[in-house]
Structure 1
Amino acid sequence: MRAADDLFALHKRKAGLDKNIADLAKGISVDKENKIMINPAIVANESIEALSELLKMRPLDAETYIELSHVYLSNGKIKEALWCVGECLIIGCSGAWNVWSYRAELCMLQGKCIAAENGDAASVRSWLYSAIASFAHSIELCSGYVRAWCGLYVSLQKLDDLKIEVDPIYPKMKFITLTQIKVMLDDVSIPVKERENIHWILNNY
């Protein structure tokens, strides 16, 4: 228990619990029908503050960066979530295929938000390019990562839906990706839930 890593893990858990208990009172109210109402914005802001304080103590803790990224994302702050993931990759998680896939999902989500606001198609394309590159790197690190294959296919399909000029390599990538996920769909070694997700994606994109 005297090891630095163990002590920090305990301190992080204690800080999280203390913050959660103290701040839950700020974020909770009771309506006229005695129903408990939670204000997610207050809880999220307090969580961001707590995690930021932990990062001041140990700025190279990748797990805390990912936790902070998830809180930012739940609060609609995609660019801040992306920054946290970038820091996580810089400090030593460059070989983590799931982190690269998560980064790609954030890039794809940012592109979707710009499109929903009737933003410039070129900006949406740029974010999709970033998503595709990150999904591809995730697959490079782990060729059997189904989530990244599915994300890559969805990103390529969204790029195709833009109906603007793209590099000729992307239609070829889409064909290769579609072929691969169809193979995965028939692979009994892949968990049933993941194959169901592939089936849903093929029917909806």
Structure 2
Amino acid sequence: MRKERVLLVDDDGIALLVHSKMLEQHAEIVTAANANEALEIIKKDKAFAVIISDQYMPDMNGAELLQIVGVMVPNMVRIMITGFADLDVAMQAVNLGNVFRFLVKPCCQEDLVLALAAGLDKYRQSAGEISQEAALTEPLTEREREVLRLLGIGFTSGEIALAMGITIGTVKTHVHHIFGKLAVNNRIKAVAKAKNMGLISR
């Protein structure tokens, strides 16, 4: 089985080499010496599961890079490595840039490998959800996903209408569309199939 690909970004050549050696048994590692090089690599090939970037780099810092990557390839898991002085920046990146997690320099192998493993798990989960939904005749809308989630909890049409601030008629329309997309004819079958497909939690 082919290993997932990971992009390491750091302007410190020694750190880049060390981190690459730490992770090479766990993924296929591609390296970039700065943010611009990383973006050029991604433009040519978006097939990366995880990007791990240093924060402090010239021209463009890690937080800026990871926010751009989040727009270019939303399902690529983003991890930041930072120094103690940049912890506030890192936390902002986590909160605003949807960065999955950050590590503090110097990174030991155990912390780096554990962070990568968690990132790969998140990527696989995301890829699984995408592939499962691709099996539908038509993707569910965000509203239909929410209705389906509430059906899974056991909400009635009236309770769903109250929870979502919509009319019962609108709920019934969403439910009808959900049945069609899942190729079922009742709520019990819809919920069971959605759980099997990973569209809602079991």
- The question of a shared fold, defined as TM-score above 0.5 by the shorter chain, is answered with no
TM-score by length of 1: 0.29
Which structure shows the bigger proportion of residues in helix conformation?
A: 1
Of structures 1 and 2, the one with the larger relative CO (CA 8 A, separation 6+) is 2
TM-score by length of 2: 0.29
Which structure shows the bigger proportion of residues in strand conformation?
A: 2
